[in-house]
Structure formats: C-alpha cells, structure tokens
C-alpha cells in the first residue's frame, strides 16, 4: 500500500472530536493555613527541610545570612540569585563546584511540594542540578493547591526554560535502594516567607 493511500485512510478514519474535560472541579479554595500545612507535609515527604518564617519580624536578608552560616558552614561557593552572599551568581559550573544554590521560586504547588523556576531566575539551566545543596525561598502567597492552578498562573510561552523542583535529587534504580543526591543536590531546604 502506498504512503498516499495510507494517509488517505487515516484522514477518513479520524476519531470524533471530544470536548476537553471540565477542570473546574479542581478549583477549590483552600484556607491559607491548610494550604501551607499541606505544602510543608508533602515537601518534607519529598525529603526537603522546610522552615516557615511567615510571621518573622527579622529582615529576610539578615535571617538568610544567619541561616546559611548555621546550616551550611562549609559552603564557600554560591549560585546566589538573591545576592545574600558576596560571590556573584554567574558561576562557571564546568570549572567551579557550587556548594549552595539560593533563589526565590515564582510559584509553589502544595500537592507535590514543587517550586517553579524559569529562565528569568535561572540564568544557567544547570544551576539547580550542579550544586551540592539548594536553598529555595517561596512567598506563602505564591503557593497554590494543585498543578491545575499552577498551570493557570504559569506563562510557559513567555519562557525558554522552566523547571519544577520537588526536593533533593533521589533515585531507587540501584538495587531498589533509595539514594539521595544521585543526580543532583544532596539536600533541599525550602524557606516559606
């Protein structure tokens, strides 16, 4: 049978168009406190360390400097989009091992504990993967319940690259044993502001 005959048969046997499903069932309002609680629960289940400083009166930069000093005392190289540390965020990942990635996510998703970054934040796509530890900040007002709400807020057409990070790197492919840090960061800390 010729190619044109096959294509003609395909054209004649197209399935009926079906309306897209109604996604309004996923549009439910969740009280902010419950949403944050769900986000923390799922994130810690993903092996992230989560700290909430929503009610803190300490300035964020001051808090983060102290937090980094206390929790990452051996870190000397940083990919720091918030300019907390003295080192610039323009790190050559092929030449310099990065101890700590620091950035504020645009969006958080409670159902999977994921944090959304795009190329307006990540000038180097490898930055969230080629580091020892990640320190991610999310404003509690930017946490949504589900991926359905996330996709309504995200403007994929406005970015060339985006990633949803939900905890440190892990795999269980090797003898069905969980290995953390196998392909990327060994730890992830999320600070909710």
Q: Is residue 30 predicted with pLDDT exceeding 70? A: yes
Domain residue ranges in the chain: 27-192
Global pTM reads 0.81
Mean pLDDT (whole number) for 140-150:
92
**Dist. CA 133–CA 154, nearest whole Å:** 26
Residue 34: CA count within 13 A, CB half-sphere? 5
Backbone angles phi, psi at 103, to 5 degrees: -160, 160
Selected residue with higher pLDDT from 158 and 66: 66
Spatial separation of the C-alpha atoms in residues 128 and 165, rounded to whole Å: 8
Phi-psi region of 89 (alpha: psi -120 to 50; beta: other; left: phi over 0): alpha
- Mean pLDDT score, 135-161: 90
Using the predicted structure, report yes or no on whether residue 90 has a pLDDT greater than 80.
no
In CATH, the architecture of 27-192 is 3-Layer(aba) Sandwich (3.40)
- Over the chain, what is the mean pLDDT? 87
Tens of pLDDT, residue by residue over 103-144, are 999 999 999 999 999 988 887 888 888 889 999 999 999 999
Residue of 133, 126, 104, 130 whose CA lies nearest to 191:
104
Nearest-angstrom CA–CA distance, 172 and 180: 9
Which residue is associated with the tokens 């096959």?
Answer: 6
CA distance 62 to 82: 12
Beta bridge partners of 101: 79, 134
């Amino acid at each position: 049978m010729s190619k044109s005959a096959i294509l003609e048969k395909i054209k004649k046997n197209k399935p009926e168009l079906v309306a897209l499903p109604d996604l309004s069932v996923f549009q439910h309002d969740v009280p902010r406190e419950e949403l944050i609680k769900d986000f923390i629960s799922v994130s810690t289940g993903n092996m992230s360390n989560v700290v909430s400083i929503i009610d803190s009166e300490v300035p964020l930069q001051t808090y983060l400097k102290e937090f980094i000093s206390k929790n990452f005392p051996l870190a000397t190289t940083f990919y720091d989009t918030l300019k907390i540390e003295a080192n610039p965020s323009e790190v050559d990942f092929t030449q310099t091992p990065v101890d700590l990635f620091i950035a504020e996510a645009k969006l958080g998703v409670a159902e999977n504990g994921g944090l959304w970054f795009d190329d307006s934040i990540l000038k180097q796509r490898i930055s969230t993967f080629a580091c020892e530890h990640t320190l991610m900040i999310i404003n509690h007002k930017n946490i949504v319940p589900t991926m359905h709400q996330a996709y309504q807020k995200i403007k994929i057409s406005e970015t060339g690259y985006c990633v949803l990070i939900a905890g440190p790197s892990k795999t269980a492919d090797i003898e069905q044993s969980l290995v953390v840090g196998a392909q990327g960061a060994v730890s992830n800390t999320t600070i909710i502001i």
